[in-house]
Amino acid sequence: MIQSMELKQIGEVSRKAGASIDTIRYYEKEGLLKRPLRSEGGFRKYPQESIDCILFIRKAQSFGLSLAEIKRIMQESERGLEKCCGHVNKVLTKKLDELEGKIKELQAMKKSLRALMKSWIPMEVAKKQRFTVCPQIERNAKLKKGEKRHGKKKS
């Protein structure tokens, strides 16, 4: 049985794990943290395992993993190290593929923005033309057939 000296109140867990009290309660609600024991006064009492779990969640989030992905990884860990590591490999491979796609999209957007800035319409010319809002953007709003917008083909 866990002794009360080993259990920590939510404020201490918050400080040690670097997560707000609301975040800790949210993790509980979402099933990422086990429900804590309660003191006679009704205060939540957490074991060190909860702090370790929060630190794991925050580290996993730093790699771009969603809470749903993290929860699944935690569930897989209960099935054994091989299952967990195999699952993590698949998740991270998928995440890398997604990032590569986003990087390509961002590079294309960067190229478009540079082209826009290089072909800036002088104010005297812009004032002589009709534009709804901004001539700098509107003159480039029409895409040529087959051209991409933010990495996606125009429908």
In this model, does residue 89 exceed pLDDT 50?
yes
Maximum Cα interatomic distance, the chain, rounded to a whole number of Å: 81
Nearest to 9 by CA among 30, 60, 17, 57: 17
How many of the other CB atoms lie within 10 Å of CB of 80? 10
Complete domains list, the chain, with CATH: 1-62 (1.10.1660.10), 67-117 (no CATH), 119-155 (no CATH)
Residues 68-79 pLDDT 10s = 999 999 999 999
Q: Is the distance from CB of 76 to CB of 87 less than 8 angstroms?
A: yes
β partners of residue 44: 38
SS3 state at 146: coil
Q: What is the pLDDT of residue 31?
A: 95
Q: Is the distance from CB of 39 to CB of 33 less than 8 angstroms?
A: no
β partners of residue 148: 153
Residues 30-61 pLDDT 10s = 999 999 999 889 899 999 999 999 999 999 99
The pTM (predicted TM-score) of the whole model is 0.72
